[in-house]
Amino acid sequence: MSSSNRKHHRQSSVVMRLTLRYGLVSALFCTAVFYLVSVRIRTAMIHQVDDLLTDELHECAIIYETQGMSGLVEEFLRETGATAPDELFFRLVSVKGEVLKSSDLTQWAGIEEELVSAAIPNQGEYRHVTIFSHDHPLNARLASLNLDGRVVLQLGLSLQHENLSHLRTRQILLATSLAMIGLSTLAGYWVARQAMTGVRRVTRTVQGIHKSNLNRRVPSGTEGREIDELASAFNQMLHRIEALVFELKEVSDNVAHDLRSPITRMRGIAETTLTGAPDLTAYQDMGLIVLEECDRLAEMINTMLEIAQSESGVLVMEESDVEINSLLRNALDLFQPLAEEKNILLLSDLPESEVVLRGDKGRLQRAVANLLDNALKYTPANGSVHLACNTTHQQVEITIGDTGPGILPEELPRLFDRFYRGEKSRSSPGNGLGLSLAKTIIQSHHGDLTVESTPGQGSVFAISLPRPAK
């Protein structure tokens, strides 16, 4: 079985399980309704028969009072003569159980044993019992009335018509229940299929993704919030995967391009030294150059990896409360000797009260250091670098301005790209990663790094960081 067939089989199994559960719930519900309705109808029929027998007993009691035993017997003979012998019977018994008068009971085989167990009611009391079981052909309802404390009148009415009517009702209920179960199961299958539509959309998207087509996304649908959340989560995962693959490709391309020169340089030094006359000093110089190039390569690789991790969202941040004023003062102290060496005036304008942010202190220090180092690198002697910090309720803005040569307008859009170096910076040492790393660090803190520059006058880099909600 192929992979796609196995997936389809698992999906179909989910649909079938949901359908079977829906059908089971429908069957249980219909069975409960069927039972309750059947019992209710049977009870209503019995009550109707009891009411009929009670009325008949009441009329007989009146006849007994006005016409005596003879009139009552005459009325019974007339009633039983008009009906089938197996539908209605009567008996007059004493309170001791002796039969005084009875209709023809030849059609009621075994009724004597049933009637013996029937309790004798008190005077003026009506009592109703069922004789023979429900599935017995002579199943009937017996009503008894104690007429005067001495004579008990018993009327029995066959329940054959009621049983037949109840049987037909149960057949109708059963057919209706089966139809409802079938329709409910079909409806459950349709609902399950509709619910799985969103999952099928996700599956189709996954099957259509390959290494050169990571920009596909799960389209939105109308199946419901849960499916939309699944599609949104999957799209976010695809976005991160695409970003990681892009970063990996870009890092690989950059490594292949920018590491070629230092490796070639190291090979050239080694080859020149080894092909010359044996000289310990030359070997030592070669070793120092190789070590310096290796350190530079290691720093470049680590910086590229950190930029890639930050841009892809997998960089682990060691967050803590960061005192921005202290961080900036430490940066000024660190670069003050370099500024004095180059005869550059290093100015600052920091707020008096401490400003506290939540972030990775080490990486924020590195971002500020990269910007200060960049400003001092391109500012000529007798120039100035100005570090300022301004705060609002929502954010903190750190600006680093210089009086350097400035940046050409056409270079500004690519200024933060990795390994990009402008026309005026190619003669200066560096690898073109400092500004890119600073921007990704600031962005990982949910901030932004921008630049404004005027050629011939200088540049101003601005860091914007959000303040934590109080």
- Contact partners, residue 133, CB within 8 Å, separation at least 6: 139
Burial (CB count <10 Å: 0-12, 13-18, 19+), residue 69: middle
pLDDT tens for each residue of 13-36:
677 888 888 888 888 998 899 899
Top pLDDT among 460 and 306 is at 460
Mean pLDDT across 390-415: 88
Distance CA 430, CA 419 (A): 9
Q: Which of 169-178, 278-287, 418-427 has the lowest mean pLDDT?
A: 418-427
Q: What is the pLDDT of residue 376?
A: 92
Residue 1: pLDDT band (50, 70, 90) is very low
The tokens describing 266, both together, are 């190291």
Q: Is the pLDDT of residue 160 over 60?
A: yes
The tokens describing 293, both together, are 């190039």
Distance CA 392, CA 411 (A): 31
Residue 11: pLDDT band (50, 70, 90) is very low
Taking the CA atoms of 72, 78, 80 and 83 in sequence, report the sign of the dihedral they define.
Answer: negative
Q: What is the pLDDT of residue 84?
A: 74
Percent of the chain with pLDDT over 90: 19
pLDDT tens for each residue of 344-355:
999 999 988 888
The tokens describing 346, both together, are 């290093």
Q: Is the pLDDT of residue 314 over 70?
A: no
pLDDT tens for each residue of 63-116:
888 888 888 888 888 877 777 777 888 888 888 888 888 887 878 877 777 777
Q: Could you give the 3-state DSSP secondary structure of residue 318?
A: coil
The residue behind tokens 């004493």 is 94
Distance CA 155, CA 379 (A): 123
Q: What is the pLDDT of residue 428?
A: 58
pLDDT tens for each residue of 224-235:
677 778 778 878
At the top level of CATH, the class of 319-466 is alpha beta
Q: What is the pLDDT of residue 450?
A: 92
Q: Is the pLDDT of residue 334 over 90?
A: yes
**∠ Cα 154 158 162 (to 5°):** 135
> What count of Cα atoms within 13 Å lies in the side-chain half-sphere of residue 6?
3
Distance CA 86, CA 203 (A): 72
The CATH architecture annotation of domain 3-165 reads 2-Layer Sandwich (3.30)
Taking the CA atoms of 388, 390, 396 and 399 in sequence, report the sign of the dihedral they define.
Answer: negative
Q: Is the pLDDT of residue 399 over 90?
A: yes
Top pLDDT among 56 and 423 is at 56
Strands 384-391 and 356-360 turn out to be: unpaired
- Contact partners, residue 434, CB within 8 Å, separation at least 6: 370, 373, 374
Top pLDDT among 402 and 283 is at 402
Q: What is the pLDDT of residue 388?
A: 94
Q: What is the pLDDT of residue 327?
A: 92
pLDDT tens for each residue of 67-76:
888 888 888 8
Q: What is the pLDDT of residue 224?
A: 67
Burial (CB count <10 Å: 0-12, 13-18, 19+), residue 18: middle
Q: What is the pLDDT of residue 10?
A: 47
Q: What is the pLDDT of residue 419?
A: 67
Q: What is the pLDDT of residue 389?
A: 93
Are 451 and 460 in contact, with CB atoms under 8 Å apart? Answer: yes
What mean pLDDT is reported for the chain?
Answer: 82
pLDDT tens for each residue of 249-275:
766 666 666 667 777 778 887 777 778
Percent of the chain with pLDDT over 70: 87
> What pTM value is reported for the model?
0.47
Residue 304: pLDDT band (50, 70, 90) is confident
Q: Is the pLDDT of residue 437 over 90?
A: no
